Structure 1
Amino acid sequence: MSTVFGEVAALYDDIRPGYPGELLDAVLAYHGGAPSAVVDIGAGTGQGTAHLLRLGAPVTCVEPDARMAAVLAAKFPQVRVAAVAFEDWTPPPGGVDLLACASAWHWMDPPTRARRAHDALAPGGTLAVFHNRFEYADPASREALDEVFRAVDGPEVEPRRPPRFAYDDIVASGLFEDVRAVEWHRYPEVTTQGYLRLTQTFAPFRRRPEPEQRAVLAGLAAAIDGLGGRITMDIRTVLAIGHRPR
């Protein structure tokens, strides 16, 4: 599933929102200044990379899907792109100063991801894991859209990961010091068509057979049109950050 987004790489790049500017400020403050080198694992088409480049350090992106990597390389020719899985990537000797992961930590191998991240960092280096969680500002919108999925899936809806799952995972590994979690919220208004396009970039949607995909999109369109053709989202960005001990 870590390569399923390549089927819609251009749409993903166009519609997926980036991250708040405050996130970069938080990473800089925590790290204690600009890092000497950055690695972005599971980089996708570069929503996180765009922020990391502002640090002014060389950036290497690790992205297993060649289709996503191609979009990434075309957007950011100054970035070195390694089109391999994190599990198959070899860190540079001595490790890297900052290892970042934007909306891809859950795609890394759960039993080994924290250890691999630790081992990829230089002593004292920083791990920054962040993701966007898509929620709704209005409870009526949330209920109307949840009802669409219940109509397709029945009452047994797949549970979502906790918002701070990456923080919990990093803490539980026992490999990092001074682990912190920080959150931000943004409230963009999204049209019916904008939400349908966004939905088509979500992994649970992409896992569905085509008849179910069509039913979900039709149901969502009717629900959002019934709410006036627009909904206000609550995009919750969660950063989990920690140091490899020296």
Structure 2
Amino acid sequence: MSQLFGEVAGGYDEARPGYPPEIVEAIRAYHGRGPGALVEVGAGTGLATRALLGLGAPMTCVEPDPRMARVLAARFPQVEVVNVPFEGWRPPPGGVPALACAMAWHWLDPATRNLRAHDALAPGGTLAVFAHRYDYVDPDDAAALRAAFESADPQPTYDRPESWFHDDVVASGLFTDVRSLPFRRAVPLDTAAYLRLVSTFSPQLKRPPELRERVLAAVGAAVDGFGGTVVMDLRTTLVLARRPA
């Protein structure tokens, strides 16, 4: 499942929204300065990499899908790209000062991800996990789009609680000073841009091709029906934690 997105590696970076610069400043402030080095887990095509480079630290990106890793390496030649799963990556002796994971924490082995992150960090090191939650500014748009998805594919999809990865890090008992910081933006998308975004979501990628087309036709018609633009309520949560010194 961690290699599900390689199919859309070429368009992923264009379709998915990036991250607010405030996230980088929040990581810097929490760490106390720019970290001496940073490892990003599940880096994909580099949406978060682009922001994290703002920390000014040498970066290593761990990405399991070779198709995503190729795009990442081409876009960011200054970054070391390691094409292995997080579970197969070995941190340097003594650990790293900071470890980040954007939109990929749920793809890591739930039985080991916190322990692996803890063990990869140097004592006192910073863990930064962040992710988007997609919603809609207009509740009528939200209702119309839910109806459109369900009309094409009535199979329900599961959304984790918004605080799930904060709770996951806390429940591990491995980290101290766990903080959760919210960021919120309104992001307008026209019909074509919205369909590109939907095409990168895992529920859509798991559908067979004919069903994908039905879903895109239904949700595209819904967006066209309320003017050809939908405004996303994009909520990004940053969870920061520290390996005890």
TM-score (norm 1): 0.98
Aligned partner of 2:220 in structure 1 is 221
Q: Distance in 1 between matches of 2:229 and 2:8?
A: 24
Aligned partner of 2:44 in structure 1 is 44
SS, match of residue 34 in structure 2:
coil
Q: Which amino acid aligns with 1:104?
A: A
Q: Distance in 2 between matches of 1:15 and 1:192?
A: 12
Q: Distance in 2 between matches of 1:242 and 1:4?
A: 28
Runs of 4+ in 1 over 6 A off after TM superposition: none
- Identity among equivalent positions (%) equals 56
RMSD between aligned residues: 0.8
User: 1:116-149: per-residue Cα shift (whole Å, max 9, x none)?
Assistant: 0000000000000001111100101111110012
Aligned partners of 2:157 and 2:203 also within 8 Å: no
Displacement of 1:208 in angstroms is 0.5
User: 1:104-127: per-residue Cα shift (whole Å, max 9, x none)?
Assistant: 000000011000000000000000
Aligned partner of 2:195 in structure 1 is 196
2:74 paired with 1:74: yes
Q: Distance in 2 between matches of 1:23 and 1:142?
A: 27
Show the 5 A alignment for 1:81-230: 81-154=81-154, 157-230=156-229
Q: Which amino acid aligns with 1:190?
A: L
TM-score (norm 2): 0.98
Q: Distance in 1 between matches of 2:128 and 2:110?
A: 17
Q: Which amino acid aligns with 1:79?
A: V
Q: Distance in 2 between matches of 1:176 and 1:232?
A: 37
User: 1:37-81: per-residue Cα shift (whole Å, max 9, x none)?
Assistant: 000000000111111111111100000001100010011101000
Displacement of 1:158 in angstroms is 2.1
SS, match of residue 115 in structure 2:
helix
Q: Distance in 2 between matches of 1:9 and 1:99?
A: 23
Which stretches in structure 2 are left out of the alignment for 5+ residues?
A: none
